[in-house]
Amino acid sequence: MSRKVWFEELGRIRYREAWAYQEKLFDAVIRDKQDRREEKDQYLLFCEHEHVFTIGKSGNRQNLLITRQMCENRQIDLHEINRGGDITYHGPGQLVAYPIIDLEAFAIGIKRYISLLEDVVIETLKPYGIRGEKDEKAMGVWIDAGNPSRARKICAIGVRASRYVTMHGLALNINSDLSYFNFINPCGFTDRGVTSMQKELGQEVDFQEVSHGMRNAFRELFAMEFAAR
């Protein structure tokens, strides 16, 4: 089965608009799969979002520490969405990747898929001397995962899959304003921190350079064949 993937940079985009676009592509991939098309389109979207909190279908609203009115006053969007996981923040300076792919075309299951997403981020961080790690009890990519007093998340992951077709994805903090995480319990955690590449390195990081590195990591680890839209 084909591993050709259309790659698209959406730039800075509000969450609701990107979500609607994802749903449109997701439904198209599902239809192609139901029609048993030999060459179905698959997609990988990269973007940044305006300030937004998203709460997954298993999320606890109590992990939002401010009111909806306060969100509006601070121009932070708030959406309850259909991915797994709890609450997270997206905003400028954060690279978000949305793979909309057929896992059967890549011969992997959902557990392996999430592990590969973590691997993509770990490989993206390596050239910067940042050692990303996995935690068996907590999805995402962490720094000092084995040290409870120092463990901090640098990338959140939350996905949805139906008929082995995926949507949603990962969010890597590059030059993120981490103060927005003070308004939530990120991913439901109250005892772990968050970090960014900028914070770890003590300087702003070239966003496009990281984006290029992540695209290469997707290509290599998933054996994707990219076509530009």
The catalytic position among 47, 71, 155, 187 is 187
First-last CA distance in the chain: 21
d(CA 162, CA 53): 24
Q: Where are the beta strands (DSSP E) in the chain?
A: 4-13, 43-49, 52-55, 77-80, 87-90, 94-100, 133-135, 138-143, 152-162, 165-173, 193-194, 225-228
DSSP state of 188: G
For residue 155, indicate whether it is catalytic.
no
d(CA 138, CA 130): 19
Which residues does the annotation mark as catalytic? Answer: 187
